[in-house]
Chains A and B, each alone.
Chain A
């Protein structure tokens, strides 16, 4: 059960919205820049899922670890990935986080705890366990979060990772962003249980099923899991229900998705709902929230200009960073 201590105060809610505004603007800018041919890259839009990382990240510190996936740029920006280096990376430029050698599916930024981004479904989880083990060994109190989608709950790595995390009581949060489609396949066609959170019971682990589009409920779920991990009481599986507005990979035509169903979910876009709620509650003013949105656009103008003005890596980068220098 959620308690009052798991309810975000007004200032925290406004901060969550500020992060959501940045995430939403970044997604819109990404699709625009790709559509106009200024950048060429595979892009997995997270539009519609902004509440989840916003509510998680306000419960984490820079020292906490994140292992995310190809549809995880929202997770990383919320955790503090700087936009200029992000954009330079997805543009394949030398000033990117990874010198242009990782790209949108392998963004990495250890200064903010963003340790690995994987392009393989399910592979965030085994690595997050190791980061959690390191926290446990050193006693530094850091929490490791693995994010993944509903499709990843059907791969073997999910089972192996949840089992190990639970038997070792690791400070890990398994955050499933259930957007109801794994690539082009609907949830019910691939997954026999009604709720992924129910699978936690099989590992003797706490499982939370939450509306991932509800900022207050999502904050509470994240808070509960972070507190459990920091207290040394083991891992949590969170299933956050949400919806992706732009299909699997940007450019796919959504032919596999029922149009009425999609329209119903797009209408439930959490962004305008939360925005209106904050104003109605008196937590923020229209001017304040519009200011966040303008600021996000300005940051993106700067980031895109920075990226497109940055040089491509020289060919000496082709075969460097394969191995390190032996000590």
Chain B
């Protein structure tokens, strides 16, 4: 289906806000209705198993049948292998790995196979699969259910990584991920599945690799993604009080990240703060900082700074879990320090 056809489709705008969970469900349903090669598999994804543990795939098997929307055993290697094989035969599978930590069980299939088959076959084959997975601290789930591991995948040539922060982007990125000819890891942030965000036009696409300048500003660029976008926007009040004008960019795609948009903004502001929920060392912030200092060395007014989780597993105890995750206050403090020269 071409983009032109999408553009001709009348917008179905509703005033009522939409949650990210609803947006993802609608994106999958709309894509499946348009293309019968799109199939869904994963643990509990079909309706007899309640349409996914959080309900993202609810209703799909009832509408499209349990051969196209298929609940699997708890077998992550088998799920991703099955998606890869079906994609080699012309299908476009959307595979769910319930939690991002469980992708580790399927790393051989994702890293050695999905990401590399196009290259190793000299372009004879490709693996157009979407791997949906959710994560995020805040539900007292401890050390094996809440990690952000996006940097691992972004470090692998052949796979793309997207992480939406709101409903319109969740829909638009999912449609683009399904359209994409290569494997896309689609990271969903569990704590804001149920947050209402502004509605969007059905059928719209958010291009992979395109960031979004959410708030314009002149003193500092703050680059973030996922639920941390909420914290960044909540930091705006404190920044305003301190007289700091911040430009906030939602990266949306981690790999390939939008260097053009980020570099243009930092060239203007001269300062950069990268914010993510993942631990700081060797994270996405490190890569962005490296590229920005390489391209804009003489134009920076302050060192590039990062705010992220400390270098420890996600803790269980509530005060520790809360302290683990970056907050609006921490983000504001870091940004103000950079602008005031207190770094």
- A contact set with B: CB distance below 8 Å: 65, 67, 96-102, 106, 108-110, 115-116, 118-120, 123, 125-138, 142, 144, 156-157, 160-161, 163-164, 167-168, 320-327
Contact B108 A326, beta carbon cutoff 8 Å: no
Contact B89 A108, beta carbon cutoff 8 Å: no
A54 to B275, CA, bound (A): 58
Q: Which of A119, A126, A129, A167 has the largest count of B CB atoms less than 10 A from its CB?
A: A126
A309 to B295, CA, bound (A): 44
Q: Which of B39, B72, B112, B124 contacts A98 (CB 8 A)?
A: B124
22 A-B residue pairings within 8 Å (CB atoms): A101-B122, A106-B120, A110-B125, A115-B88, A120-B112, A126-B82, A126-B85, A127-B113, A128-B85, A129-B78, A129-B85, A130-B84, A131-B86, A134-B85, A134-B86, A157-B81, A160-B77, A161-B77, A164-B75, A321-B121, A323-B182, A326-B179
Closest to A102 in B: B120
> Is B117's beta carbon under 8 Å from chain A?
yes
Given contacts A101-B120, A125-B81, A163-B78, contact A322 B113 (CB under 8 A): no
Given contacts A99-B122, A322-B118, A327-B179, contact A116 B75 (CB under 8 A): no
Given contacts A164-B73, A322-B118, contact A123 B113 (CB under 8 A): yes
Contact B91 A137, beta carbon cutoff 8 Å: yes
Contact A325 B122, beta carbon cutoff 8 Å: no
Closest to A144 in B: B85
Contact B91 A126, beta carbon cutoff 8 Å: no
Q: How far is the CB of A300 from chain B (nearest CB, A)?
A: 22
Chain A residues, CB < 8 A from B160 = 323
A67 to B113, CA, bound (A): 12
Interface size on B, residues (CB 8 A): 46
> Is B68's beta carbon under 8 Å from chain A?
yes
Closest to A131 in B: B85
> Is B240's beta carbon under 8 Å from chain A?
no
Contact B88 A116, beta carbon cutoff 8 Å: yes
Given contacts A101-B119, A120-B112, A130-B87, contact A164 B82 (CB under 8 A): yes
Contact A130 B73, beta carbon cutoff 8 Å: no
Chain A residues, CB < 8 A from B81 = 123, 125-127, 129-130, 157, 160-161
Chain B residues, CB < 8 A from A125 = 81
A31 to B122, CA, bound (A): 25
Q: Which of B78, B87, B126 has the largest count of A CB atoms less than 10 A from its CB?
A: B78
- B contact set with A: CB distance below 8 Å: 39, 67-68, 70, 72-73, 75-78, 80-91, 93, 108-109, 112-113, 117-126, 157-158, 160, 176, 179-182, 208
Contact A326 B124, beta carbon cutoff 8 Å: no
Chain B residues, CB < 8 A from A135 = 89
A125 to B85, CA, bound (A): 10
Chain B residues, CB < 8 A from A127 = 81-82, 84-85, 88, 109, 113
16 further contact pairs, Cβ within 8 A, besides A116-B125, A322-B119: A67-B85, A98-B122, A99-B122, A106-B121, A109-B124, A123-B112, A126-B78, A130-B84, A131-B89, A133-B85, A136-B67, A163-B78, A320-B123, A321-B121, A325-B181, A326-B176
Q: How far is the CB of A229 from chain B (nearest CB, A)?
A: 14
A155 to B296, CA, bound (A): 49
Closest to A105 in B: B120
A134 to B70, CA, bound (A): 13
A144 to B81, CA, bound (A): 13
Contact B113 A116, beta carbon cutoff 8 Å: yes
Q: How far is the CB of A9 from chain B (nearest CB, A)?
A: 32
Q: Which of A125, A144, A324 has the largest count of B CB atoms less than 10 A from its CB?
A: A324
Q: How far is the CB of B148 from chain A (nearest CB, A)?
A: 23
Contact A323 B118, beta carbon cutoff 8 Å: yes
Q: Which of A120, A137, A160, A321 contacts B39 (CB 8 A)?
A: A137
Given contacts A96-B122, A101-B119, A327-B179, contact A167 B73 (CB under 8 A): yes
Contact A132 B85, beta carbon cutoff 8 Å: yes
A168 to B82, CA, bound (A): 11
A168 to B85, CA, bound (A): 15
Chain B residues, CB < 8 A from A99 = 122-123
Contact A126 B86, beta carbon cutoff 8 Å: no
Q: How far is the CB of A307 from chain B (nearest CB, A)?
A: 15
A130 to B75, CA, bound (A): 14
Q: How far is the CB of B303 from chain A (nearest CB, A)?
A: 31
Q: How far is the CB of B266 from chain A (nearest CB, A)?
A: 26
Q: Which of B70, B84, B93 has the largest count of A CB atoms less than 10 A from its CB?
A: B84
Q: Which of A67, A157, A324 contacts B126 (CB 8 A)?
A: A324
A160 to B82, CA, bound (A): 11
Contact A322 B122, beta carbon cutoff 8 Å: no
Q: Which of A130, A157, A326 contacts B88 (CB 8 A)?
A: A130
Closest to B106 in A: A126
Contact A161 B119, beta carbon cutoff 8 Å: no
Q: Which of B108, B118, B125 has the largest count of A CB atoms less than 10 A from its CB?
A: B108
Given contacts A98-B121, A99-B123, A127-B84, contact A118 B113 (CB under 8 A): yes
A313 to B25, CA, bound (A): 45
Contact B78 A164, beta carbon cutoff 8 Å: yes
Chain A residues, CB < 8 A from B68 = 137
Closest 7 CB pairs of A and B: A130-B85, A126-B81, A134-B89, A98-B122, A99-B122, A108-B121, A324-B181
Chain B residues, CB < 8 A from A167 = 73
Contact A116 B117, beta carbon cutoff 8 Å: yes
